[in-house]
Amino acid sequence: METASITEWMFVQEIPIPEDVANILVPGEQPYAAFKTFRDSAIFTSKRLIVRDAQGITGKKVEIYSLPYTAINMWSTENAGKMLDWTAEVELWTRAGHIKIKLDKKIDVRRIDTLIANCVLNHQ
């Protein structure tokens, strides 16, 4: 039995929406929120989740992942509770495979849950 590979990202903190994201949006697509990742940023838009990953030592090469909300079949959110809540986790089950998003303690997991719910459920 084969299992789908897992892609994993880490969101560190919410940041202003990067101005250069406008270059990759389609007409009518609006950015809603952005988060700093380990190497670059993730942007929730009205149509998809865009994760940019700077590559190499200089970070000039950038890989862009684009996950349309229509590809998300199910998601879950989890946190450890108040006492030792260092990170929370979001899991997305998609047509492309399983994606884990780890959230730093500076990010409210319910904010992410609400963003995903609004984006996924309003685009089906």
Q: Is 38 left (phi over 0), alpha (psi -120 to 50) or beta?
A: alpha
Q: How confident is the model at residue 50 (pLDDT cuts 50, 70, 90)?
A: very high
Only one residue has tokens 């998609």, namely 94
Mean confidence (pLDDT) of the chain: 85
Q: Which of 49, 56, 53 is nearest to 72 (CA)?
A: 49
Among the residue ranges 21-30, 38-47, 50-59, 111-120, the one predicted with the least confidence is 50-59
Contacts of 42 (CB under 8 A, 6+ apart): 9, 11, 34, 35, 49, 50, 51, 52
What pLDDT does 5 receive? 58
69-112 pLDDT per residue, tens = 999 999 998 876 655 556 789 999 998 889 999 998 888 888 99
> For the ranges 5-14, 29-38, 63-72, 104-113, which has the lowest average pLDDT?
5-14
Q: How far apart are CA 23 and CA 9, in angstroms?
A: 23
Strand partners, 74: 93
Q: Average pLDDT in the 51-56 region? A: 80
Domains and CATH numbers, the chain: 8-121 (2.30.29.50)
Q: Which residues pair with 52 in a beta bridge?
A: 41, 64
**How does residue 124 score in pLDDT terms, banded at 50, 70 and 90?**
low
pTM to 2 decimal places: 0.85
